[in-house]
């Protein structure tokens, strides 16, 4: 396995293998977005180009312009990934290997559903998203071909046969399987680079980040899948949440770099952006720009994702090499995991800054897109690693064992 991923607690960054800190289950880390209602059609707005900044480094000065406070929000969360909020503002999380969807409210946890997933390594229940009608969407891997109702099938530690997104509706304090939204077979012998980010965008479409499924030693497999416009892997997808295997209205017809001559026709209409290795986490700022982490082979990337743009992961194995609109915004070292952006004015000077966690050091980093500087957030050190999500002027962070909440104040 050649991977780096948040979804399990073993890492293989750039050929290294190491154990993640701390008590609880062992997970592998990939470097593999919640909004409301389906309003098809709009594409993510593009912004003016920004040059790459310097690599984040813990020796840089720590930001002191605003104050932060961090407290434990939930404990013993059992490999919590896929953070989301329901329509009442209550936090949901996915338990990667158990397949449980859990709600945290008033300091108490409640299991809403248990899905039959194929977990282990970087697979399992990986992403959640909620809409304003109370429906919840889940992305997971399974050994059941065709993605049947996951609440009626048992979990498995065996082979992965399919990648699935189902929607669930609230029913008597639980979640009931409602509709298959996305499905694909698993054309790989590996269990890594499976992505996992699932979020509604500000346009009402459902976005899903899928990795290239590994096997990167064979350029026709991992990197080749990222460049193939007939498969959904190594891509960010933009889905119609009310249909089965349909791209949202307004999806691009081609994917390429800046020049028209580099554009290639898309045959899988669910594709929004291509040429990514493992884009497992992303979020939007108040300008509706979509920021995503892509964990690389020799270089990790922070990108602004635009419709129909190729981000350069291609045979033989080339990362941080995107050009034109697909060039990297910031190069990162340390295996980034999770992205969150506070859009609240209460966050003061940190509003619209991009927060990401470095898995290898469990350090939260703030990237200021205006100054192009990245600085550690000292109060959050050791409290992140699996996933991040923002709500108001709060950042919620999972380290796989506990969820902490950081308040950002002027």
pLDDT in tens, the chain (410 residues): 334 444 433 333 333 222 232 333 333 333 333 322 333 333 333 333 333 333 333 334 444 457 899 999 999 999 999 999 999 999 999 999 999 999 999 999 999 999 999 998 899 999 999 999 999 999 999 999 999 999 998 776 688 999 999 999 999 999 999 999 999 999 999 989 999 999 999 999 999 999 999 999 999 999 999 999 999 999 999 999 999 999 999 999 999 975 555 789 999 999 999 999 999 899 999 999 999 999 998 899 999 999 999 999 999 998 898 888 899 999 998 889 899 999 999 999 999 999 999 888 889 999 998 999 999 999 999 999 899 999 999 999 999 999 999 999 87
The 10 Å CB-count burial string (b at 16+, else e) for 47-68 is eeeeeebeebeeeeeebeeeeb
List the structure tokens of 81.
């990934």
Instruction: List strand residue ranges (DSSP E) for 172-258, in order.
Output: 174-185, 198-200, 206-210, 235-239, 254-255
- Go through the domains of the chain in sequence order and give each one's CATH number: 5-409 (2.120.10.30)
Gap between the Cα atoms of 103 and 101, Å rounded: 7
Question: Does residue 214 contact residue 7 with C-beta atoms inside 8 Å?
Answer: no
Q: How many helices (H) and strands (E) does the chain have?
A: 1, 30
Q: Which residues 6+ apart lie within 8 Å of 121 measured at CB?
A: 1, 7, 8, 10, 28, 191, 192
| Chain centroid, CA 309 distance in Å | 18
List the structure tokens of 136.
């919840």
User: Dihedrals φ, ψ of 59, to 5°?
Assistant: -85, -10
Q: What is the pTM of this model?
A: 0.86
Burial (0-12, 13-18, 19+ Cβ within 10 Å), 71: exposed
């Amino acid at each position: 396995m050649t991977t780096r991923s948040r979804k399990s607690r073993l890492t293989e960054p750039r050929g290294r293998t190491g154990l993640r800190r701390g008590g609880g289950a062992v997970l592998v880390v990939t470097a593999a977005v919640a909004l409301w209602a389906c309003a098809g059609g709009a594409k993510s707005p593009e912004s003016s180009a920004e040059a790459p900044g310097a690599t984040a480094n813990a020796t840089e000065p720590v930001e002191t312009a605003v104050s932060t406070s961090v407290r434990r929000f939930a404990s013993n969360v059992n490999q919590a990934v896929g953070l989301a909020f329901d329509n009442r503002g209550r936090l949901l999380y996915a338990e990667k290997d158990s397949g449980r969807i859990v709600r945290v409210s008033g300091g108490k946890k409640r299991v809403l559903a248990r899905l039959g997933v194929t977990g282990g390594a970087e697979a399992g229940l990986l992403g959640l998203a909620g809409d304003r009608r109370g429906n919840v969407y889940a992305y997971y891997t399974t050994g059941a071909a065709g993605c049947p109702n996951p609440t009626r099938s048992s979990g498995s530690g065996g082979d992965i046969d399919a990648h699935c997104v189902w929607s669930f509706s609230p029913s008597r304090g639980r979640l009931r399987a409602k509709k298959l939204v996305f499905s694909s077979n698993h054309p790989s012998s590996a269990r890594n680079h499976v992505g996992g980010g699932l979020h509604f965008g500000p346009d009402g479409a459902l976005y899903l980040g899928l990795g290239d499924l590994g096997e990167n030693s064979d350029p026709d497999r991992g990197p080749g899948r990222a460049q193939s416009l007939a498969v959904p892997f190594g891509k960010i997808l933009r889905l119609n949440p009310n249909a089965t295997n349909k791209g949202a209205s307004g999806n691009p017809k081609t994917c390429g770099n800046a020049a028209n001559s580099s554009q290639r026709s898309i045959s899988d209409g669910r594709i929004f952006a291509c040429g990514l290795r493992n884009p497992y986490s992303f979020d939007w700022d108040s300008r509706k720009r979509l920021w995503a982490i892509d964990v690389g082979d020799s270089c990790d990337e922070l990108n602004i994702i635009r419709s129909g743009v190729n981000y350069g992961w291609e045979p033989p194995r080339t990362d941080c090499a995107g050009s034109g609109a697909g060039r990297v915004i910031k190069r990162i070292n340390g295996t980034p995991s999770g992205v969150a952006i506070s859009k609240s004015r209460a966050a003061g000077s940190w509003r619209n800054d991009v927060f990401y966690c470095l898995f290898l050091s469990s350090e939260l980093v703030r990237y200021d897109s205006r100054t192009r500087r990245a600085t550690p957030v000292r109060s959050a050190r050791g409290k992140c690693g699996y996933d991040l999500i923002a709500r108001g002027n709060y950042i919620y962070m999972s380290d796989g064992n506990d969820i902490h909440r950081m308040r950002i104040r002027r």
